Amino acid sequence: MTHQISAEHLSIERIGEILSRNIKLELSADARKRIIRCREYLDKKIEESKQPIYGVTTGFGSLCKISIDKQQLSDLQKNLVMSHACGVGERVPCEIVKIMLLLKVQSLSYGYSACQVETVQRLIDFFNHDIYPIVYTQGSLGASGDLVPLAHLCLPLIGMGEVEYQGKIISGEEMLRVMNWQPIQLVSKEGLALLNGTQNMNAYAVWAMLQSARLSDWADKIGAMSLEAYDGRIEPFTHAVHAIRPHAGQMQTAARIRELLEGSELIKQPKVNVQDPYSFRCIPQVHGACKDTIAYVHSVIDIEVNAATDNPTVCPDEDLVISAGNFHGEPIAQPMDFLAIALCELSNISERRIYKLVSGTRDLPSFLVAKPGVNSGFMIPQYTAASLVSQSKMYCTPASADSIPSSQGQEDHVSMGANAATKLYQVVLNTEKVLAIELFNAAQALQFRRPLKSSPAIEAIFEAYRKEVPFIENDEFMAPHIARSIEFLRK
């Protein structure tokens, strides 16, 4: 099965499907035609124009006043890719690199970048053969796009840099030899088209959106199980309460919890406690606000996926080559910071429910073991969750609030979107871990409510979970159980 790269709208959900089903890419005939037309237009423009064209017949950044001889235009592009590959730090995960490749191909396919068809096809070949260029997490200001990480992404096109292929790291030169490919000979403007753009930070954003939908769903399911285990009340989820404050996410969450607990014996039991703590009672308001944030960020990232973000923009229909700022990461940097806050809040309220479950109240044993004292039980998983939440709160300081001028002041306001992206990645992973720990606790606590049963929906989750993670009678090595809980959420 293949996916045709075209001008048709590419959704975030479709990207998830392409990745999960290992669907191959191919250029549509229309995309190929647009790419060729733009390339031919720029070649003609260079021949006819007496005016310098930024990045095409001039240097880059603050070197834009220096004109380049036509004989050196190819060297200019190759030098650009080499000189900008200055990444440091950890490797960008392969799953993010694969999204980067897809997004770069999609952006170049619109025919506003003046790339060669051969160059775009080689990026498709990387994607289809699971060739992952080695890219580093640090170095991008998210302003002229992701110059540094995209330079590393594209070095293997010219036989440089490194890639991971079939589980091994090899040089770009060796990769070309193994695949029996020739290095791409970059032409005018092409290096700039490859390096300008938001595909690094946007790849993180796409990945985070795919995870956010899953984690938001799990937060409701796990929160409902915790509510049952804590002998909580259903009244705060009544439709009439939320109809008079009708935020979309709040209404959706309340309805979801009512649905999840339909048919529960536990929720129908007479309650001694008049009120529940906020972490239970305010699930619709908190989870709902997170849903609203996820929906907003989704709308922004959806636009970015379907955009051309390099510079200059080549518009054959208008006979224009314009140096502008579509590479600037601000439109997605701020939303990524916002998404980090929302996901952190999902983990924040989750950790509070964990704390209540182990607190020895509402007829639950201290730390959720029958014989506390000789057993520490679930005392320390809450510590782990608290540590993760604290770290995520640190990552919620907005990267997009900062700017440091670069390129001798020519690039005097930058988005820091790549930093927003990498810290968002960590917040997603932390939130997943905290929710997994809550599920670990909630399932343990629910078992102390037997013989009463929860709803069919919650009991189905419980039974599936118990096939992976057992009830804890006495102290055990807990880390493997937490690891299996995380994997359970991923399945």
> Prior bond to 312 cis, omega within 30?
yes
Q: What φ, ψ does residue 169 adopt, rounded to 5°?
A: -95, 125
Q: What is the DSSP string of 224-244?
A: HHHHHHTT--SGGG-HHHHHT
- Give phi and psi for 120, each to the nearest 5: -65, -40
Q: What are phi and psi of 162, to 5 degrees?
A: -135, 160
Structure tokens at 339: 């998404």
Cα separation, 49 vs 312, whole angstroms: 15
What's the CA gap between 127 and 408, in Å, rounded? 36
| Cα dihedral 432, 398, 413, 59 in deg (nearest 10) | -20
Q: Name the active-site residue from 54, 204, 230, 395.
A: 54
Q: How many CB atoms lie within 10 A of CB 182?
A: 10
Contact 351, 389 (CB under 8 A): yes
Determine whether 230 is an active site residue: no
* Euclidean distance between CA atoms 129 and 484, whole angstroms: 31
Residue type, 270: P
Residues making up the chain, counted from first to last:
491
Strand pairing of 24-27 and 2-5?
parallel
- Quote the DSSP letter at residue 80: H
The CA-CA-CA angle for residues 229, 233, 238, to 5°, reads 130
Strand partners, 375: 372
Which residues are tagged catalytic? 54
